[in-house]
Structure 1
Amino acid sequence: MLARLMEDVERWLAAAPVFLIALVVIVFAWMIGGWLSKRRALDRVGRHNPFLRDLARTTVRWAVTLIGVVIALEILNATAMVGAILGTAGVLGVALGFAFKDILENYLAGVLLSLRQPFSPRDLVEIDGNQGHVIALTSRATILMTLDGNHLRLPNALVFRSVALNYTRNPTRRFEFDVGIGVEEDLVHAQHVGIDALRTVPGVVDSPPPRALVMALGDSSVQMRYHGWVDQRSHDYLLVRSEAVRIVKEALDTENVDLPEPIYRLKLDGAGPTVSAVPGPAAPPSAAEAPSVERPKRPSGPPIDTRSTGDLTEQIDQEVRKRGGADLLDHNTPLE
């Protein structure tokens, strides 16, 4: 027993220099990988993308280290173990892939989004029905600030798969609203009145010009759709649209264009006569038959300031500063 133990010790001592050389090779490969990962050549790979730059550095370091491990196994005459190690790594990779599927999917989607740059910080976007201003893109999620001032984190995989609507990319944005016009009215006159009124709204641009379209015939009115274009760089979209609705309504009222309310005809089965068969004194006129009293028109108040207020701009800037540059979006990178 003791003799066999001594033989094992002697064998291990004889192999110690080889093990030491293999260990030195692995350590040397790790150091070489670290040195290569800090070269400026890799900075050009992700010049405007810190996430991609760090990924390239980590990949280079581990690739060189893996080469060192293979060389060390060759020195130890244990190349047969390489196949077993790779097989084990493959099985382990599949198991981890299923276990962390969502995390890996978001991570890879973050890499692709950082390369594509589909939007810029502070852009107003709508993704999968969620609307908000872009704050940052991280390795796992896209962070938005909704118009209510709330934080919204969307998984990168969802952002990558979904249809993204960017309201900021084109500075000019169209608004529209519908108005019911009386069926007896001159529709061409109503169109011109609305278009002339839209031209006076602060923030509505001259090109493309405002328009009015006859959309449909209703039961008691004709549906007229007015639309104009807003320069979002200087004016607020919602404020301009609100002011446009008000000014067009006042212009139609001034021109005595009928804006009828919905009219419904009710038919009651089995209802008795509405007038008594026995003659008698005339009933007093009902409220419906009484002559209507025209209310005096109130003077319009001062126009609403439609210039861009930037209600969320300061809050978004604060959030961007808090992140300290930890963002995969870059203004200097060409957008998709």
Structure 2
Amino acid sequence: MTTDFHHVLLAYWEQFLFVLPKLLIALVLLTVGLFVAGRLSALLSHRLHRRSADPLLADFLTQISKWVLSLIALLVALNVLGFTGVVGSLLGAAGVSAFIVGFAFKDIAENFLAGVILAFNRPFRIDDTVQIKDLVGHVVALNLRTTLIHTFDGKHIFLPNSMVLKEPLTNYTRDGELRMDFLLTVELGETVMPDVVKTLIVRYLQSVPEVQTGLKAPYVNLEKAAATTADLRVYFWSDAGDYRRGVLQLKSRLMQDVKQELVGAGFSVPALAG
């Protein structure tokens, strides 16, 4: 029995020595291939970022190119080892489908395809402020599987690309300008008309540099009128480049300033809401 065990070990050793040169060549080719894939993808990234105005698409194409080149290096290494049949099946449509479903799982394939659609459809760009469900934040990156969102409270949220593609997405900064509004209640007394207060508010808003004028001039609507009070909805347009600081803080400041302007004109503002 010891002799048979010795013969088995010897047979395995001889097979190992026979495969060893091919294994070493395959490892060298795989290492070189991965190195070349990294260098070529870095070169492609540099050129795409220099020529493209959309860094989101450039980053995504760079990631795809790196994965494709790495896969080619792996296929060459498998071919050197004699796994020609495996390489052929992977290159076939059925083989690729089985490879994706069997080894990468369905959700990864789904998120990858969703990422491709998002990269070319481009519903957002880097640093755009978006809302997906109840999440609001800046777009940081689009990866092969996830979209990275940086929320205003400092959290990094990795959302599956398939969810980003399927859910309604609100982009607050895509057009560069955004309309905001707030509601205030003004005590008019029995003789003052709401139009007088509306004129005062619009005149003040037009003096604020951050508020758009012209075709997108500020305006005020009367929403409710009682015997001595009026509920007025104030609308204004502003630059949406920085949603948190440029829009939300401007709205907060205007709410306070409009109230002070009316108080200075002799009116009372008992209620103010965003």
| TM score, norm. by length of structure 1 | 0.52
1:177 and 2:177 equivalent? no
| 1:119-130 alignment, distance < 5 Å | 119-130=124-135
Which residue does the alignment assign to 1:238?
248
| Structure in which a larger fraction of residues adopt strand | 2
Could you tell me which of 251, 254, 267 is aligned with 1:257? 267
Q: Does structure 2 conserve the Cα–Cα contact (< 8 Å) formed by 1:179 and 1:223?
A: yes
1:144 and 2:149 equivalent? yes
For residues 179-231 of structure 1, the C-alpha deviation after alignment (integer angstroms, 9 at most, x for no partner) is: 12347441111110111121233411223111001123469743210111112
Q: Which has the higher contact order (CA 8 A, sep 6+)?
A: 1
Quickly say closer, same or farther: Cα 1:67–1:232, change in 2 above 3 A.
same
1:191 and 2:198 equivalent? yes
Structure with bigger gyration radius: 1
| 1:290-305 alignment, distance < 5 Å | none
| Structure in which a larger fraction of residues adopt helix | 2
Quickly say closer, same or farther: Cα 1:237–1:190, change in 2 above 3 A.
same
Q: Bigger CA drift: 244-253 or 186-195?
A: 244-253
For residues 137-182 of structure 1, the C-alpha deviation after alignment (integer angstroms, 9 at most, x for no partner) is: 1112111211112212111111111222222222222221001234
| 1:177-326 alignment, distance < 5 Å | 177-182=182-187, 184=190, 185-207=192-214, 208-217=216-225, 221-233=229-241, 236-259=246-269
1:51 and 2:66 equivalent? no
The gaps in structure 1 that reach 5 residues or longer are 1-23, 74-81, 262-336
Tell me how far 1:118 sits from its aligned partner: 2.7
Q: Does structure 1 conserve the Cα–Cα contact (< 8 Å) formed by 2:101 and 2:109?
A: no
- Quick one: which amino acid aligns to residue 223 of structure 2? M
- Quick one: which amino acid aligns to residue 202 of structure 2? I
Quickly say closer, same or farther: Cα 1:135–1:246, change in 2 above 3 A.
same
Q: Does structure 1 conserve the Cα–Cα contact (< 8 Å) formed by 2:139 and 2:149?
A: yes
Could you tell me which of 133, 137, 140 is aligned with 1:132? 137
How far apart, CA to CA, are the structure 1 residues paired with 2:84 and 2:102?
27
Q: Does structure 2 conserve the Cα–Cα contact (< 8 Å) formed by 1:198 and 1:247?
A: no
How far apart, CA to CA, are the structure 1 residues paired with 2:64 and 2:170?
25
Q: Does structure 2 conserve the Cα–Cα contact (< 8 Å) formed by 1:124 and 1:167?
A: yes
Q: Does structure 1 conserve the Cα–Cα contact (< 8 Å) formed by 2:172 and 2:240?
A: no
How far apart, CA to CA, are the structure 2 residues paired with 1:91 and 1:119?
33
Q: CA RMSD in A?
A: 4.6
For residues 48-93 of structure 1, the C-alpha deviation after alignment (integer angstroms, 9 at most, x for no partner) is: 3512323544566788999999x967xxxxxxxx99xx99997786
- Quick one: which amino acid aligns to residue 214 of structure 1? L
How far apart, CA to CA, are the structure 2 residues paired with 1:115 and 1:260?
50
- Quick one: which amino acid aligns to residue 245 of structure 1? M
| 1:158-177 alignment, distance < 5 Å | 158-177=163-182
Number of residue pairs aligned between Structure 1 and Structure 2: 233
| 1:66-145 alignment, distance < 5 Å | 100-145=105-150
Q: Does structure 1 conserve the Cα–Cα contact (< 8 Å) formed by 2:259 and 2:269?
A: no
How far apart, CA to CA, are the structure 1 residues paired with 2:227 and 2:106?
55
| TM score, norm. by length of structure 2 | 0.62
